[in-house]
Structure 1
Amino acid sequence: MILVTGATGHVGKPLLEELVAVGRKVRALTRNTDLPDLPTSVEVAETVDLPLDGITSVFFVTAAFPQGTAEPIAKMAAAGVQRIVALSSYSVLDDDPKNMIGVKHRELERQIEDSGLEWTFIRPAGGFAATALEWAEQIRTKGVARFPFGDAQTAPVHERDIAAVAARALLTDDLVGKAPLFSGPESLSYRDRARIIGSVTREPVTFDEITEDEARREWSLAGVPPHAVEARLGMFARLTHGPHDVSPVDPILGRSGLGFAQWVAEHIDDFRKVKS
């Protein structure tokens, strides 16, 4: 049986669909077991319980374990789990100690390697397409996307591509001991993203480039910790220097990656304007 942690997250849900589609037995870990939209054939359990009986492989996300990852990894090894497929980050390649995303995921990878289990580290590059949901309410209500660096470019990754890579790592031996790095299929600025959302929804979206101080206030009010606010501002400033590197997922999946416009089409109701 395969254990999927973070089962209701952006990657966990499409991964469940991939695994169920090929007939695999799956246990989904979630903080809320009352959610109605998980596949009916999936066994659902609470994350806090971490039931590992019969589990041979695990899809591991750090967000499922805010109290730390070392203890659950140790429990998995002791329970006879054979393989961990971890959602990591390409930030592990940045050795800047101020890059907390890189620091956190390097430690995760080290803990898993030290466990002695088979492993695959999935390293999406270019950011998740789903981060555009941060604009959803303001686009629905005002037709505006606010962001401090309109020319910052990334290559946003569709969560279904990440889930497909995870499924391959869980279902085959092709990616054992590997750390596949891949991005979305195109480099897009944040101004481009707003334009594409407007094009797909057929409702005009205005891009409003705000100042760094305005971003600090808005992100702080949204609950982003001060150190994370400054890290984000620094990262986005660095991304204004040209196109983001594109690392195709094609060699891993045998197909092209899913583009941002397709992602918007699949989430169109999140962006359609509220009718008065």
Structure 2
Amino acid sequence: MTSTTLVTGARGKVGQAVIARLHAAGRTVRAASARPAELTVPDGVETTELALDRPETFEAALRGVGQVFLYPQPAGIHEFAQAAEAAGVEHVVLLSSSSVLGPDAENDPLAGHSLHVERALAASGLTCTFLRPDAFASNSLGWAYFIGQGLPIQLAYPDAHIAPIHPEDIADIAAEALTGTSLTGTAPTLTGPESLTFREQLAIVADVLGREIPVEQITRAEAEQQMGRHMPAPMVTSLLDLWAAADHGPAAVHDTTRTLLGRPARTYRQWAGENTAAFTRH
């Protein structure tokens, strides 16, 4: 395939990792951002302006493009799908979310935007692959400041179970979806290889750092107050509902790099070991 692969969200960790993999494989890659001047890409990777809420940016970004790696952004998605079809795009790989599979996903602030994008793409004439990762291991960086300061981690549901996935595994699977055919047209739910509670994750981080990390259980009302300082109330409610539901047993382990690519999935411990600096630099 000689056509160009357009990677949106190119400032994000997964987007950057996908660009690096495609470039290393000799693919022609175009990195897209609403602020392309701020992109850092490998030599030989073209950059372009693309903002889904500004359709006037679509034509130049899509010129000569055969595939798109797309971050979910509802604004302008119908127009983008039409422009992609008109430009001859053959395949879109969407970084969606497992939250689209939850109850009342359409009205859930965590799931709604990804579901809207999935539906718009499904209604188009494009061939689509929907990657639906569960919780990212890198979500643990939300604890970094407190751990760096030696403060306790306060959680309403410390024993909620998730199966966190390493972002590099998502990038490996995305690269396979863009360069091979085994995932074309599928919608796999992606997780890490093991179910871990928040308490167990913090114990792994503590072990990697070689020091204790105290965990304190707080009330849901206290968590709502704390989280509400940083995110809208509907998002807080959605997250706490999710964790409350996950408090009753192990999380399901779905597709991983083991099942999809035939190689071991990266563990949460590996992620923690790679990111010790984030928990010690404050």
Structure 1 length normalisation: TM-score? 0.91
Unaligned runs of 5+ in 1: none
Q: Given that residues 74 and 114 in structure 2 are in contact (C-alpha distance below 8 angstroms), is that contact kept between their aligned partners in structure 1?
A: no
Contact 2:188–2:255 (8 Å) recurs in 1: no
Question: Structure 2 CA distance, aligned partners of 1:8 and 1:35?
Answer: 8
Residue 68 of structure 2: aligned partner: 58
The answer to whether residue 257 in structure 2 is matched with residue 254 in structure 1 is: no
Look up the SS of the partner of 1:85 in the other structure.
strand
In structure 2, how many angstroms separate the alpha carbons of the residues matched to 1:210 and 1:255? 39
- Give the direction of change, closer, same or farther, for the CA distance of 1:27–1:36 in structure 2 (3 Å limit): closer
Return the offset for 1:209: 2.2
Partner Cα distance (2:279, 2:196) in 1? 19
User: Which residue of 105, 109, 115 maps to 2:114?
Assistant: 105
Contact 2:8 2:15 (8 Å CA) reproduced: yes
**TM-superposition CA deviations, 1:50-88 (whole Å, max 9, x none):** 4111111000111xx363422222221222211100111
Corresponding residue of 1:122: 131
Alignment of 1:79-98 (within 5 A): 79-96=87-104, 97-98=106-107
Find the counterpart in structure 2 of residue 38 from structure 1: 41
Who is 1:236 aligned against?
243
Q: 1:30 to 1:267 in 2, by over 3 A?
A: farther
Contact 1:153–1:189 at 8 Å: present in 2 too? yes
* Number of residue equivalences: 270
After TM superposition, list the pairs within 5 Å mapping 1:15-26 onto structure 2: 15-26=18-29
Corresponding residue number in structure 2 for 1:189:
197
1:137 is aligned to 2:145? yes
**Secondary structure of residue in 2 paired with 1:45:** strand
The 2-side partners of 1:36 and 1:85 are apart by 21
Percent identity, aligned pairs only, is 36
The answer to whether the 8 A contact 1:133-1:270 is kept is: yes
Change (3 A) 1:103 1:66: closer
Partners of 1:265 and 1:30 in 2: CA distance: 30
For 1:2-21, list aligned pairs within 5 A: 2-21=5-24
Q: Kindly tell me: are residues 113 and 98 of structure 1, through their superposed partners in 2, closer, same or farther at Cα, counting changes over 3 Å?
A: closer
> Are positions 1:165 and 2:173 aligned together?
yes
TM-score, reference length from structure 2: 0.89
Given the alignment, which residue of 201, 208, 211 partners 1:200? Answer: 208
Q: 1:198 and 1:171, CA in 2 relative to 1: closer, same or farther beyond 3 A?
A: same
Structure 2 unaligned blocks of 5 or more: 52-56
Q: Is the partner of 1:40 in helix, strand or coil? A: coil
